[in-house]
Structure 1
Amino acid sequence: MADELVLRAQRFVNRTYGDKIGMTVEENGRTGWSTMYALTRALQWELGISPVSDSFGPTTLRTLTQRFPRLNSTTVPSANFCRIIQSAMYCKGYDGGDIDGIYNESVQAGITKMKQDMGVDGVYSGSDLTPKVFKGLLNMDPYVVVKYGDRPGDEDIRSIQRWLNGRYIHRQDFFVIPCDGHHSRDVAKSMLFAIQYELGMADGVANGVFGPGTQAGLKQHTLTVGSTGTWVNLFTAGMILNQRPHIAFSGTFTSELSSQVFEYQDFLQLSLSGDGDYSTWASLLVSYGDQSRSGSACDCVTTITEARAQALRAAGYFRVGRYLCNVPGGRDKMIKPGELQTIASNGLSCFPIYQTFSNGASYFNYNQGTRDGLDAIDWAKYHGFKDGTRIYFAVDYDAYDHEVTSNILPHFRGIHRAVQENSRYRTGIYGPRNVCRRVREAGYTDASFVSDMSSGFSGNLGFPMPGDWAFDQIATVTVGSGAGAIEIDKNVVSGRDLGQSSFDPGASTAGLDVDFNPAYRDAMLQEVRSYLESIGVPETGGDGWTDKDWATLGGISNTKAFELVLSADWLFTSLARQLRLRKALIQAPVLWELRKLNPLDFAADTAVKTGVKDDCSTGWGQIFAWVAIEARNHCVREGIINGPILDRGRDLGSVWTQLNEDAIYNIKTASYLTIYNAHQISRPRPAPDTSEADSEQILARYNGPLTVDGKPNEPALEYGRQLMGLYRVLEKYYRLSRNQ
């Protein structure tokens, strides 16, 4: 909703400074960073700083401090200077009166209230605007409790934020932090500054980094029952910020606090004492905690040889995380033939990791998650991982919370559905704390492998350890020597995942379909078009179409049908590999049905949507919901896929909607229908070596029974003959892709 006062502030900065500061802001009445940046630039222009920038950095702070250490009604240098203050106050939610350029009673009351909200009123009393408070005015940090999405603010955390501001704002490198009731990167860094100040570090030495000096100092400040003072305040603050329950922000280390510390130590697998010792301090302040503590698991990109396995076991490592596959152009890090047997024979276990190009938000989406889930199943079977194995899917970058919502969660929904439906494996996640937490809360994983070594990630700073953590990655170390030397990432274990210590024989992938080689695209398209035209299917139009209908309803040409199917080649390939059959056998009817869509099909869909009919063939593969139910139930009963047995009466509507709206669901159903069709005509389950004669009859069954009243069903048989020709064209180029 637009705010009239914010709109007036935007108009002021645009009209007064737009041609001077190199930017204008959208006049929409909504506070945002662009408006704050413009006001910051306007302030710099008034101070004579050139060039101006978005940042209220050291130069701006130093110049403001030298010239106007206390701004008030007598020291504000100009009306426009005051208007900048008033405009920023509107954007920050404080009353600045009118934008009249007067440091009036409203401005004074608003500045006083903001300093109280910040917790700095005990240091900067009265209504004067000081440079550090001005810096806090020109950003988007709230100083009252707010709710972010589903995360409400916490008054106890706000009390800590205000206490930190009030106690340390006079120090050179400490700036006002938000007082919104949420832990964050700024709050985490402010805690480290506070620790360093209490250790006696001078301004310019204290830097907010968990370095050797800070670590050495903390080792001298173990807290026990009866301890009092600022160190206890900081310790209880750390416990609250890490979302430990039933903790009061206090300066006294009570027996009740000791009990809560004991539980926290047990949760993180720290030494159990109930005291505020160094390892506990470290875990409260940085994600990786005390990196010297022992871990009994590791992950690595290096092949585990006999010598390395022995070195790992001698060093106390019993569980090893290894990668299921490589990626083109990447490092060779995948499990090698015989490696899992080497791991098992040396008394170790293995937990598999699936990672491709998972290092940026653009990689993550529902379709890619579906593909990753299916591919991970394929690789896990190839290596011989048994049912029940948990596969950890990687999010190996600093994902912001909004990216978790827009990209990561849909991606893991795809993974979860693919793994749950097509295997008996389990789904885990590797990533920063916030990513792990949110994906688990969405129900897509049941254990987290936490990348806590990346302590600077925004997804680790300010977030507690997720409750379902299995492995905590804390340090890179080298163990062993000579042939046994190996660099690993050390992991602390919770016991939630023991890894796998025995394996099935690996499943062969020889002869299975692979991704289509795009070098063959043009030739394949030309041959598909030529074949379709040879059997009476023109590029556009055809049975059921008039020129007018084609133009208004948007018919699908031969070329468009081909392009749509090829766009989903990744899915057809993954399904074909999972089900051990030829993808052309799934693709041929889907391509045909896409091309054959006509006005009657669109009308039938509308009839179902409006409740006139309860079912019709729909979606890419033109599949009836009742047929989808029968096919899926058959595959569930045969143990081919997982899921509940569907009921035609209860589930017809929801299945039809998924077939109509979700192309992935429709294509997957087409693949299950291929298997079911073979069953219906008493043919063996389709395989890579299924004969052309059987393939033709399976394709024919897609269009109905092969006989009716004991006589050949010619429409279905003709359908099979026509699709068999299309199958041969597709398979020709897929064979070339397999054999390249």
Structure 2
Amino acid sequence: MDEMVLRAQRFINSIYGNVPGITKVAEDGITGWSTMRALTRCLQHELGGTALSDNFGPTTMSTLQSTWPSVGPGTGAPANLVRIIQSGLYCKGYDGGGIDGIFNDHVAAAVQKLKSDAGVSGVYPGADVVPKVFKALLNMDAYVVVSGGNPVVRSIQQWMNARYVNRTGFFIVPCDGYFSRDVQKALMLAVQFELGMSDSEATGVFGPATQAGLKANTLSVGSSGPWVRLFSAAMVFNRRDGVTFTGTFDSQLSTQVRRFQTFVKLPVTGKGDFQTWASLLVSTGDATRKGSAFDCVTEITPARADALKAAGYRIAGRYLCNVPDTTLNKMIQPGELAVLAEKGLRVFPIYQTSGRSVDYFGYAQGVIDALAAIEWARRHGFRSGTRIYFAVDFDALDHQVTSNVIPHFRGIANTMNEHARGYKVGIYGPRNVCSRVSAMGLTSASFVSDMSSGYSGNLGYPMPADWAFDQIATITVGSGAGKIEIDNNIASGLDEGQSRFDPGTVAAGLDVDFDMSKKGALLQDVRNYLTSIGVPEAGGSDLFDKDNATLGCNTTTKAFDITLTHDKLISGLARRLKMRKALIQAPILWEIRKWNPADLAADKLVRSHYTGGPIGTNDCSTGLAQIFAATAIKARNHAIQKGIISGAILDPADETDLWAVWQKLQDPSYNITTVAYVHIWGAAEIGVARPGLATGDDNTRRILARYNGVNAAAEKYGHELLGLYKVFEKHNAPLRTS
């Protein structure tokens, strides 16, 4: 906590707390957007505004320019206006000289330091705060190199501020050493200014006039001046090693240009030509470039394949499946892969059912997607070695990549490694998304959605190092029967796609996702059955005692709802292992329903054992389906040894392995998948065939009993759960045959 930031927050709340449009800020002494935006609103209020906004926009700028074009020691500005400046300085880390409304020497020195840090002290000499400096003061931009920032990038940021800040549409950019969306936009404006565009013409859009201007300004060895500075800046921003910020195009820069051109698959000229400029400035690069790969949502017929081949295409990206509950039929059609192979076109598969908002992504969904992708890939006949590209088809912000997308791909990677190690994982998405997921070791190639040039995940980010396909434009190829709309992709050569396919495999009689419109009927049958065996809708902890352990803290409805929350995972797992999903559903619902304080106490004892507490209990049944870590290890070892899944053999007697697995069992996805492996292992333990689609009631009962143990209580457990199994099966069976 910073004491002076705290005082700034108290100033906002005490003076403006009752002003309509200004919400009180948290008094925590931590600089953040809420404080900066509040200060912006305070400024707007001082300028006479009534429609207050978080944005320091054109109206605020013009009003400030006409009212207080300069605020300094001798300008006579109102005390509260000075207090806003002092508060902003403290939030930026400068000495504001108190928050007393006096523009004293400390304030003057701080303003001068800020201007120097931002590179504009030569443009705006002295201590007065002019409108563009005021705007820079009331945001979260830093003007010193922050952790991980590049000093060379900062020198470019300062140079751009100094050279272009007097242009109407150019505002002070951060000087933090990071290439960002705002810096990318500023670079484009700088290019347009150097092309001689007026303030109204320079929009930051990579349009025809900008492209024509760049085509007329090819740089080569011997070139010098601002154009070379902008070009070398763009190279630095794109993280090209060995490039310095320079005004002279020398042989060293030419060498680095050749390397960049090779990387992005441009003609290798060593010059700052149009296509190189374009690839440095916008994610699409020159969108008219001819690609050798493409993706599409349309079936590739023989006529279309001929047209595509004639146009120079050799690799096709096609979708494994359709999006549920939509009419668009974008998936690979029967016989299509044979057509492509016959015509000499290779194929890479794409998996996407949704992926258009952050809410879709997470570890559990990644597991579901991976299971589905494996099934679809095998259904179409894709062989081992195929890379499947999983889509992130929205403008994911950096924090969303951290919170949702990376866990999602961790779920994909873990599941693919466990169930289909022969398949590789790729990613489709904006540059930042691809790069960050790849850096975690979760993908092996990127299919970059560069066509979405306005995405924040593309603006200000270099091309991922592992890019395989670069999607740059939607075009139409062919005519008549051969006409087809495609997304034109540049191929790097990292992924050549597949040219040979196995016969597709589709197992009959597999379970499907539950029809949630029938949820009420299933719940009623579950409740009726459990009540019939002495387990009513509710039985809380107040009813718990040693002899009545089935009456847990969760109601039947809650247990049911939690179980159905994981329906897609259970369905996918059952389909992958070719067993009945009811066999997985029954123990999950039962164990959630009967969870009680004894389970909570047992969990605490295990945690205590491994985290410095009393040593004693090193394992207990835990997680949604109440599985012992030792049981999970034995079950998974069995599945690995039988070639059902891949993984490392662990030791159920080793406490390091026990603790690691026990913690994993807290994750619902891991716990649920383990249920299925426990059934497979349990069947082998009691000499029963592996559970399958046609397993009879008696063997099902015995497998369910083994899930609980081998004593008399387990026998009772098996009988009770067989009834619950039959309830689920009553509702599952009609769906898979409809």
- Residues 10 and 549 from structure 1, CA distance in 2 versus in 1: closer, same or farther, beyond 3 angstroms? farther
Match of 1:625 among 617, 622, 629: 629
1:408 aligns with 2:413: no
Alpha-carbon distance between aligned partners in 1 of 2:83 and 2:34, rounded to the nearest angstrom: 17
What's the CA shift for 1:414? 1.2
What's the CA shift for 1:585? 1.6
1:174 aligns with 2:174: no
Letter in 1 for 2:205: V
Q: SS state of the match for residue 350, structure 1? A: strand
Paired position in structure 1 for 2:565: 567
Q: SS state of the match for residue 427, structure 2? A: strand
Q: How many residues align?
A: 728
Ranges in structure 1 where 5+ consecutive residues have no aligned partner? 706-712
Alpha-carbon distance between aligned partners in 2 of 1:17 and 1:543, rounded to the nearest angstrom: 51
Aligned positions of 1:727-738 closer than 5 A: 727-738=725-736
Alpha-carbon distance between aligned partners in 1 of 2:182 and 2:278, rounded to the nearest angstrom: 17
- Residues 23 and 550 from structure 1, CA distance in 2 versus in 1: closer, same or farther, beyond 3 angstroms? farther
What's the CA shift for 1:689? 2.1
1:100 aligns with 2:100: yes
483-492 or 90-99, larger mean C-alpha shift: 90-99
- Residues 265 and 585 from structure 1, CA distance in 2 versus in 1: closer, same or farther, beyond 3 angstroms? same
Aligned positions of 1:459-478 closer than 5 A: 459-478=457-476
Paired position in structure 2 for 1:7: 6
Alpha-carbon distance between aligned partners in 1 of 2:504 and 2:653, rounded to the nearest angstrom: 41
Alpha-carbon distance between aligned partners in 1 of 2:50 and 2:716, rounded to the nearest angstrom: 79
- Residues 546 and 68 from structure 1, CA distance in 2 versus in 1: closer, same or farther, beyond 3 angstroms? closer
CA contact (8 A) 2:630 2:658 kept: no
Cα deviation digits, residues 27-66 of structure 1 (max 9, x gap): 3322222322232233233333443322222222223223
Q: SS state of the match for residue 392, structure 1? A: strand
Paired position in structure 2 for 1:702: 707
Alpha-carbon distance between aligned partners in 1 of 2:536 and 2:63, rounded to the nearest angstrom: 75
TM-score, with structure 1 as normaliser: 0.93
Match of 1:312 among 301, 308, 314: 308
Letter in 2 for 1:11: R
Aligned positions of 1:256-275 closer than 5 A: 256-275=252-271
Paired position in structure 2 for 1:368: 365
Letter in 2 for 1:411: H
Paired position in structure 1 for 2:587: 589
Alpha-carbon distance between aligned partners in 1 of 2:719 and 2:684, rounded to the nearest angstrom: 19
What's the CA shift for 1:82? 2.0
What's the CA shift for 1:721? 3.1
Aligned positions of 1:282-301 closer than 5 A: 282-301=278-297
What's the CA shift for 1:625? 2.6
Paired position in structure 2 for 1:689: 694
Aligned positions of 1:125-164 closer than 5 A: 125-147=125-147, 152-164=148-160
Percent identity, aligned pairs only? Answer: 58
Q: SS state of the match for residue 473, structure 1? A: strand
Paired position in structure 1 for 2:618: 614
- Residues 524 and 50 from structure 1, CA distance in 2 versus in 1: closer, same or farther, beyond 3 angstroms? closer
Match of 1:505 among 503, 506, 518: 503
Match of 1:199 among 195, 201, 204: 195
387-396 or 542-551, larger mean C-alpha shift: 542-551
12-21 or 119-128, larger mean C-alpha shift: 12-21
Q: SS state of the match for residue 429, structure 1? A: strand
1:388 aligns with 2:385: yes
TM-score, with structure 2 as normaliser: 0.94
Match of 1:351 among 348, 367, 374: 348
Alpha-carbon distance between aligned partners in 1 of 2:671 and 2:332, rounded to the nearest angstrom: 34
Alpha-carbon distance between aligned partners in 2 of 1:550 and 1:14, rounded to the nearest angstrom: 57
What's the CA shift for 1:489? 0.8
Letter in 1 for 2:673: K
Q: SS state of the match for residue 338, structure 2? A: helix
Alpha-carbon distance between aligned partners in 1 of 2:358 and 2:301, rounded to the nearest angstrom: 35
Paired position in structure 1 for 2:678: 673
Letter in 2 for 1:578: R
1:638 aligns with 2:637: no
182-191 or 367-376, larger mean C-alpha shift: 367-376
Paired position in structure 2 for 1:230: 226
What's the CA shift for 1:703? 3.7
Alpha-carbon distance between aligned partners in 2 of 1:550 and 1:52, rounded to the nearest angstrom: 62
Cα deviation digits, residues 213-248 of structure 1 (max 9, x gap): 111111122211222111111111011111111111
Letter in 2 for 1:383: H
Match of 1:454 among 452, 455, 470: 452
- Residues 38 and 21 from structure 1, CA distance in 2 versus in 1: closer, same or farther, beyond 3 angstroms? farther
What's the CA shift for 1:616? 3.4
Cα deviation digits, residues 682-702 of structure 1 (max 9, x gap): 443322122333323333333
533-542 or 495-504, larger mean C-alpha shift: 533-542
1:70 aligns with 2:75: no
Paired position in structure 1 for 2:612: none
438-447 or 13-22, larger mean C-alpha shift: 13-22
- Residues 31 and 537 from structure 1, CA distance in 2 versus in 1: closer, same or farther, beyond 3 angstroms? closer
1:217 aligns with 2:217: no
- Residues 252 and 721 from structure 1, CA distance in 2 versus in 1: closer, same or farther, beyond 3 angstroms? same
1:418 aligns with 2:415: yes
Letter in 1 for 2:364: N
Letter in 1 for 2:398: D
Letter in 2 for 1:522: G
CA contact (8 A) 1:358 1:364 kept: yes
Q: SS state of the match for residue 702, structure 1? A: helix
468-477 or 591-600, larger mean C-alpha shift: 591-600
1:661 aligns with 2:648: no
Q: SS state of the match for residue 178, structure 1? A: coil
Ranges in structure 2 where 5+ consecutive residues have no aligned partner? 610-614
Paired position in structure 2 for 1:31: 31
Q: SS state of the match for residue 375, structure 2? A: helix
What's the CA shift for 1:557? 4.0
1:18 aligns with 2:22: no
Alpha-carbon distance between aligned partners in 1 of 2:541 and 2:55, rounded to the nearest angstrom: 65
Cα deviation digits, residues 144-203 of structure 1 (max 9, x gap): 1113xxxx1111000000000001111121111111110011111111111111111122
Letter in 1 for 2:432: N
- Residues 65 and 537 from structure 1, CA distance in 2 versus in 1: closer, same or farther, beyond 3 angstroms? closer
CA contact (8 A) 1:296 1:317 kept: yes
Alpha-carbon distance between aligned partners in 2 of 1:86 and 1:347, rounded to the nearest angstrom: 69
Q: CA RMSD in A?
A: 2.4
Cα deviation digits, residues 378-425 of structure 1 (max 9, x gap): 221222211221111111111111111111111111111111111131
- Residues 603 and 263 from structure 1, CA distance in 2 versus in 1: closer, same or farther, beyond 3 angstroms? same
CA contact (8 A) 2:544 2:596 kept: no
Q: SS state of the match for residue 19, structure 1? A: coil
Alpha-carbon distance between aligned partners in 1 of 2:356 and 2:92, rounded to the nearest angstrom: 35
- Residues 195 and 697 from structure 1, CA distance in 2 versus in 1: closer, same or farther, beyond 3 angstroms? same
What's the CA shift for 1:4? 2.1
Q: SS state of the match for residue 168, structure 2? A: coil
CA contact (8 A) 1:588 1:723 kept: yes
- Residues 180 and 598 from structure 1, CA distance in 2 versus in 1: closer, same or farther, beyond 3 angstroms? closer
